[in-house]
A = this chain, B = another copy of it.
């Protein structure tokens, strides 16, 4: 730490380790660790509040979240195909994503120095966030839970589970719910919510360890390892002989085709992502959409930022569940920013168990 000038507060300069995107990832194919690099040569000046502007904050990042949606920002799409992709990351700059941070310097009227917040930040030790990013930060009011939960159960994945489950699917007691990618950040929460609602819950995941977690830790009624099932339709039938009522779709492709064969009349499919598609230039085709007609099924996509005005309502529901141990959040914590690139790319090979978090600094 270098102190320049007379006032420590004014001009402390600190190292700012960063995860930089070295080059864009082709649309087709998995991202590699080497697409990113960790630099330790950068510094940042811990400036005065008036230097971050009336819409800005300077934060110290504590936890960073690995989310499937970051994949699409690692590719630069041609304008013609980039119809609804978020802006690509900038080469040579830190990648971005959800995280938990502490405000060190504050010019923004919604926050104060020392506030803990969650929202979109940079993959680096310190970030200056201005409009519009700073406006979308959420102040953390409840600190009696692990702060890393605000990257998972109490952050975007938790809200995704809540909105898809209560606002899109609205399953009722006794109904049959199937969740693909069920041990992931969102899936595990949907499954536990469905159990609390009195549903019969089945999940699929990509290893025996994960399936055990579904059944033994999250209380799912049944689960299967999709990698060991030659016939996904048969696997679903075995678990839910009478057909599904609701489906939480995280995967797409062959799994969605099997789900479509097993829906019941009037059922609903909430779609919050398709992890099987993110690394494919051309997504796997889905062949059984005709069953949407025959079974009168509603399939609905949603993006959780549209629903952030319901965040306080969500917290009122979920915080007591967490405090009473009725919902557990399994996290997979990678230690240090250096481990970030590996943690992120392994999300797509399914190495993580539960919510993948990168620990940047101790609280």
Contact = CB atoms under 8 A, between A and B. Distances in A.
8 contacts: A84-B295, A271-B293, A283-B290, A284-B285, A284-B287, A293-B301, A297-B300, A298-B299
A144 interface: no
A256 interface: yes
A12 B91 CA distance: 88
A163 to B, nearest CB: 11
A283 B274 contact: no
B291 A271 contact: no
A288 interface: yes
Contact of A293 (B287, B289, B294, B303): B303
A27 to B, nearest CB: 12
Interface of A: 83-85, 252, 256, 261, 271-274, 277, 282-303, 306
Contact of A296 (B261, B289, B303): B303
A85 B256 CA distance: 19
- What number of copies of this chain does the assembly contain? 2
A84 B272 contact: no
Contacts of A274: 289-290, 293
A288 B277 CA distance: 10
A115 B293 CA distance: 33
Contacts of A284: 285, 287
A294 B284 CA distance: 17
A287 B27 CA distance: 15
Contacts of A296: 300-303, 306
A291 B85 CA distance: 9
Given A292-B300, A293-B303, A298-B299, 19 more contacts: A83-B261, A83-B291, A84-B294, A252-B290, A256-B289, A271-B293, A274-B290, A282-B287, A284-B287, A285-B285, A285-B286, A285-B287, A286-B286, A292-B301, A295-B301, A297-B301, A298-B298, A298-B301, A299-B300
A256 B301 CA distance: 16
A299 to B, nearest CB: 5
A273 B293 contact: yes
A277 B298 contact: no
B271 A289 contact: yes
A289 B283 CA distance: 9
The 5 A-B residue pairs whose C-beta atoms are closest, nearest first, are A285-B285, A292-B301, A84-B294, A293-B301, A298-B300
Contacts of A261: 83
Contacts of A271: 289, 292-293
A294 B85 contact: yes
Contacts of A303: 293-294, 296
